[in-house]
Amino acid sequence: MAAVVHSEAQTLDCALAAGKVQDAICGSETLRSLNDEMTKLFTLALNGTDMTEEHTAELKKSQEQWLAERGKCTASTLDLKVCIANADAMRIHELRTAYAALRASDDGVSIGPVTYSCAGVDAPLNAVFINTMEHLVSLSWGDRRMVLPQVISGSGARYQAEFPGAGEATFWDHGNEALFASPGKDPVNCTKLIGN
C-alpha cells in the first residue's frame, strides 16, 4: 500500500515496492509527488487536534477503501499511470475538502479547494490545483467529479482532456474568473466565490 493505514502513515519505500501500482508510482516523478502529497495530507488529517476516536476510525476506513479502489487501476481501460494519477488527485481533493486544517497547509503541491459559481451549472464548482511535474486540476460539482491535465495556454492556466464517448472537457482559470466545459458541453463563465 502507498500509505500504511495506522497511526503513522508513511511514504512508499520504492526499495520495497510490490505490484503494478507501486511499480508505476516508483517509476514516475509525477506519481511519486502525488503519492507523497496524499500521504502528507492523510497524516496531517490523522494527527489533527480535532480528531476524535470515531473520526480517526472513519478516516482510516476511507483510506483503506480508497487504496483498494486505486488498486483496481490494474484492470482499468485507462492507462495505468493516468488511472493512478486521477485516483490520487481525487483523494487529495477529498482530504483537502473534508479537513479544514489541511487548507492552511501551503507547503505541499496542492492548493484548494477553490469554489466557483458557474452560469448554468446547478452546483458550486470546487477546484483543487495540484502542481506536480505534470500539473492537474481536480474538479467536483454536485455528485460529479473529474481530473484534467494542464495544457499549453497563452494566458491563465488551462486544463483539458478528451473523454471517450462524452467529448472534451476544459477548465481555464484566469485569476478570479474561469471558463468551464464539462465533457461535450459548451463552455460557461465562472466566478471565484469570495473567500477563495
How far is it, in rounded angstroms, from Cα 21 to Cα 94? Answer: 21
- Mean pLDDT score across all residues of the chain: 88
* Stated pTM of the model: 0.89
For the stretch 49-86, pLDDT in tens is 888 899 999 999 999 999 999 999 999 999 999 999 99
Measured CA to CA, the distance from residue 167 to residue 177 in angstroms comes to: 23
Number of Cβ atoms within 10 Å of the Cβ of 101: 14
Residue 23 lies in a domain: yes
pLDDT, residue 153, reads 78
Residue with cell 492552511: 104
Domain housing 120: 110-192
Domain contains 154: yes
CATH of the domain at 121: 2.40.128.200
Alpha helices, DSSP H only, in the chain? Answer: 19-26, 29-46, 53-71, 80-98
